[in-house]
Amino acid sequence: MYKKIDQKDIDFLLTILDKEDVVIGDDINEDYAHDELAGEIKYPEVLVFVHSTEQVSKIMKYAYENNIPVTPRGQGTGLSGASVALYGGIMLCLTKMDKILELDEENLTLTVEPGVLLMTIAQYVEEHDLFYPPDPGEKSAAIGGNINTNAGGMRAVKYGVTRDYVRGLECVLPNGEVINVGGKVVKNSSGYSIKDLVVGSEGQLAIVTKAILKLLPLPKKAISLLIPFPDLALAIDTVPKIIKSKSIPTAIEFMEREAIVGAEEFLGKKFPDNSSNAYLLLKFDGNSTEEIEREYENVAKLCLECGAYDVLIADTDERNESIWSARGAFLEAFKASSEIDECDVVVPRDKVAEFVRFTHDIQPEVGLRIKSFGHAGDGNLHVYPHKDDLDDKTWHERLNKAFDLMFAKARELHGEVSGEHGVGYAKSPYFVESKNETYINLLKGIKSAFDPKNILNPGKLYN
């Protein structure tokens, strides 16, 4: 159905791009055939590195006219295969569009190209005493990918998700036209919000070539509480009580001893405590120690009343750093111990305990180790079935069964298939199953309004 790449197409690309930015055949590194998820290996026919909106526009116009599929790509840190070139064609890599274009302190905005890394943004704005709140674990992700998955991260409890910090976008449509949506304006009630439609669309509607991000003043102080509990159920059941107590921590994470021990081994560093079965990790931020103390004292008391063994307070940068770097290493530590796959469901906050219990309970039935950690405070769980020493066939059978059960449970709890990692192709069957036909047809209708030829990132979400 799609046109295959031939020499004429390569010649065209070389009129726009330097030779080093057009990679074909065996020269394409295997990294570009998958994302961070273990999954299908699919190579694009040609991999191009773009440097400007104009180049993106010209390539899309050509691809559109010639019916060539295009897969936009950032750092490839995704976990659901959204940036894999399922149909070959052109992989359009935006990592070299990595400039910070403008810090506007009077409007509190930062204008960036899509290839700027999250860690670069964090560091840059902090140097100016400003703050970009979304904080996914993967700091080497590019902002373009974060926008395309509406990434969430640790600080969503208090600060919300990527969507809440995207003020405006420059996008290239599938036919090569460039549009601007939103801007530096704080409010907007001028037609359907194309901006909010592109955010979270997994690169299917348009290619983001510039983003205007909303910033906040940097909170002057942060304190973390590490709270050991006798078991996970007790820990997680405490979370809705914290929310109900009207304290809103910046982050509420839950973790089990096994994840901590794994991270200690992986990092070669000791966590402040690993003697309990389960932990809540809370962060509070604000502009003064007193303000934060007032907040966390109530929460600490509440946790002790709910059965916590203790409340360990990390009020130095060093202790904070040691705790949060361990938290950031959980996924890598799991991956180092076994091949894994991931379920990134989100459920209402008061259903987290029930869902996590469910993932524990089904382990004997499905015959897999299933470990989890995640954002208890916002209901977004990261659940990891482990392959261990199973053969591929058994692993996939058991994995499918585990996914079937978990996604069905998430639906029962009024949850959604993905909280922050997106659907891609890997979670597509579960996503489609979670919606009725009318809903999927709406998505297809929207896609068709943007991309009647379905050339931009086909095969994802609902195909």
Q: In the bound complex, what is the minimum distance in angstroms from residue 215's beta carbon to its own copies?
A: 10
Chain residues 315-354 in contact with its own copies, contact rule CB under 8 A: 344, 346-350
CA distance 185 to 454: 32
Q: In the bound complex, what is the minimum distance in angstroms from residue 450's beta carbon to its own copies?
A: 7
Specify the residue, 177 or 397, whose C-beta has the smaller distance to its own copies.
Answer: 177
> If binding means CB under 8 A, how many residues of this protein chain bind its own copies?
94
The reply on whether position 378 binds its own copies by CB under 8 A is: yes
**Applying CB under 8 A, which of residues 2, 24, 164, 274 lies at the interface with its own copies?**
164
Contact stretch for its own copies (CB under 8 A) within 16-24, 39-47, 178-186, 258-266: 178-186
- Cβ-based burial of 295 (10 A; exposed 0-12, middle 13-18, buried ≥19): buried
Q: In the bound complex, what is the minimum distance in angstroms from residue 331's beta carbon to its own copies?
A: 17
| Closest-CA residue to 190 (of 199, 179, 181) | 181
Residue 218 Ramachandran class (φ > 0 left, ψ -120 to 50 alpha, else beta): beta
The reply on whether position 421 binds its own copies by CB under 8 A is: yes
Q: Is 285 helix (H, G, I), strand (E, B) or coil?
A: strand
Residue 113, token pair as written in the block: 């190209």
CB 420 within 8 A of CB 150: yes
- According to DSSP H, which parts of 245-350 are helical? 257-267, 289-305, 317-328, 330-337
Residue 139, token pair as written in the block: 């700091």
Chain residues 53-72 in contact with its own copies, contact rule CB under 8 A: none
**Applying CB under 8 A, which of residues 21, 264, 291, 315 lies at the interface with its own copies?**
291
Binding mask 119-138 for its own copies (x = CB under 8 A): ----------xx--------
Binding mask 79-118 for its own copies (x = CB under 8 A): -------------------------xxxxx----------
Specify the residue, 177 or 321, whose C-beta has the smaller distance to its own copies.
Answer: 177
Q: Is 460 helix (H, G, I), strand (E, B) or coil?
A: coil
Residue 38, token pair as written in the block: 């273990």
Contact stretch for its own copies (CB under 8 A) within 274-282, 304-312, 390-398, 438-446: 438-446
Q: In the bound complex, what is the minimum distance in angstroms from residue 122's beta carbon to its own copies?
A: 17
The DSSP string of 203-216 is TSS-EEEEEEEE-E
Q: Which letter does DSSP use for residue 449 in this model?
A: H
Specify the residue, 204 or 276, whose C-beta has the smaller distance to its own copies.
Answer: 204
CB 369 within 8 A of CB 385: yes
| Closest-CA residue to 434 (of 452, 413, 420) | 413
Residue 273, token pair as written in the block: 């405590």
Specify the residue, 5 or 461, whose C-beta has the smaller distance to its own copies.
Answer: 461
The reply on whether position 301 binds its own copies by CB under 8 A is: no
CB 371 within 8 A of CB 417: no
Contact stretch for its own copies (CB under 8 A) within 36-44, 57-65, 150-158, 383-391: 150-158
CA distance 313 to 299: 12
Contact stretch for its own copies (CB under 8 A) within 262-270, 312-320, 355-363, 431-439: 431-439
Specify the residue, 310 or 350, whose C-beta has the smaller distance to its own copies.
Answer: 350
Specify the residue, 29 or 288, whose C-beta has the smaller distance to its own copies.
Answer: 288
Specify the residue, 262 or 377, whose C-beta has the smaller distance to its own copies.
Answer: 377
Q: In the bound complex, what is the minimum distance in angstroms from residue 438's beta carbon to its own copies?
A: 5
Q: In the bound complex, what is the minimum distance in angstroms from residue 263's beta carbon to its own copies?
A: 23
Q: Is 134 helix (H, G, I), strand (E, B) or coil?
A: coil
The reply on whether position 417 binds its own copies by CB under 8 A is: yes
Q: In the bound complex, what is the minimum distance in angstroms from residue 368's beta carbon to its own copies?
A: 24
Specify the residue, 204 or 359, whose C-beta has the smaller distance to its own copies.
Answer: 204
First to last CA, the chain: 15
Contact stretch for its own copies (CB under 8 A) within 158-166, 262-270, 362-370, 382-390: 158-166
Chain residues 181-240 in contact with its own copies, contact rule CB under 8 A: 183-194, 196-197, 199-201, 204-205, 216-218, 240
Kindly report the number of other CB atoms within 10 A of residue 171's CB atom.
24
Contact stretch for its own copies (CB under 8 A) within 241-249, 258-266, 301-309, 329-337: 241-249
Chain residues 16-55 in contact with its own copies, contact rule CB under 8 A: none
Name the helix (H) or strand (E) containing 249.
Answer: none
Kindly report the number of other CB atoms within 10 A of residue 318's CB atom.
8
Residue 187, token pair as written in the block: 């409010």
Contact stretch for its own copies (CB under 8 A) within 53-61, 64-72, 277-285, 437-445: 437-445
Residue with tokens 């969507």: 163
Q: In the bound complex, what is the minimum distance in angstroms from residue 11's beta carbon to its own copies?
A: 29
CB 216 within 8 A of CB 155: no
| Closest-CA residue to 234 (of 274, 276, 273, 263) | 276
CA distance 54 to 86: 25
Name the helix (H) or strand (E) containing 329.
Answer: none
The reply on whether position 416 binds its own copies by CB under 8 A is: yes
